[in-house]
Amino acid sequence: MPHESSQSAERGPESTAANYLYWQQHGGEWVSEYEARKRNQPLYHIQEFMLVEYMMRNAPARVLEFGCGVGRHLRNLLAIPDIDVHGYDQSPTMVAGCRRWAEQAWIDAHVIVGKSTGPLPYPDRSFDIVYTAEVLVHVRPEDVERLKQPFTRAEAARARADGAAGAGLGLAIVERIARLHGGRFDLLPRDGGGTIARVELPLRAPR
């Protein structure tokens, strides 16, 4: 379990689903699992390179990773100048894995352990960039629809130098574009676990 002084969002009474409970109790095993996978699966390295490049292009920025886990990406982003990176996760055992690379004081100040679903414990305009990686595969089918709602609770903290404002809209933008073209966007359960993101578009756009 994380150090007693680690940040945590207030938890109301809730019945935790089995898959969320599993990660809360066994997530710490993924510190070594990620290390093993990165030895023979280039996908993990490509994912990290893409995130680092994107953040370097958008610095300065205050960044939140939703579902930060053991901090695989937080560790890389922390090294980028002018990137103030924070993390949120529902698994205390995964967050405890951040101790492999970060001091406890940094974890306490930058990472929050909170509920698996529901509003995040941040005020509006807290972050310039909100992103997630690998979280969709762990979301229950009953909870996927709410993922398409805009992140109204974590809007841009400030305008960027080029005049563009950050946003945490994510899947909401995908759904809106699909509808404008007469199509649809669905998040579907995958056999064996996980989630499938499917976009369907007509051969001809509506007039």
**Tokens at residue 151, please?**
């992140």
**0.85 exceeded by pTM:** no
Q: Per the domain annotation, does 23 fall within a domain?
A: yes
Residue 70 included in any domain = yes
Residue 194 resides in a domain: no
> Among 102-106, 126-130, 197-201, which is the least confidently predicted range?
197-201
- Of 40, 117, 36, the closest CA to residue 72 belongs to 36
Q: Note down the domain range covering 122.
A: 16-170
Domain of residue 65, CATH code:
3.40.50.150
Q: Is residue 57 part of a domain?
A: yes
pLDDT in tens, 129-159: 988 887 776 777 677 666 666 553 333 344 4
Tell me: the pLDDT tens digits for 44-91?
Answer: 888 899 999 999 999 999 999 999 999 999 999 999 999 999 999 999
> Is residue 4 one of the residues assigned to a domain?
no
189-200 burial: b if 16+ Cβ within 10 Å, else e: eeeeeebeeeee
Question: Is 10 contained in some domain?
Answer: no
Instruction: Give the chain's domain count.
Output: 1
**What distance in Å separates the CA atoms of residue 87 and residue 178, rounded to the nearest whole number?**
30
- In a domain, residue 180? The reply is no
Kindly state whether residue 200 falls inside one of the protein's structural domains. no
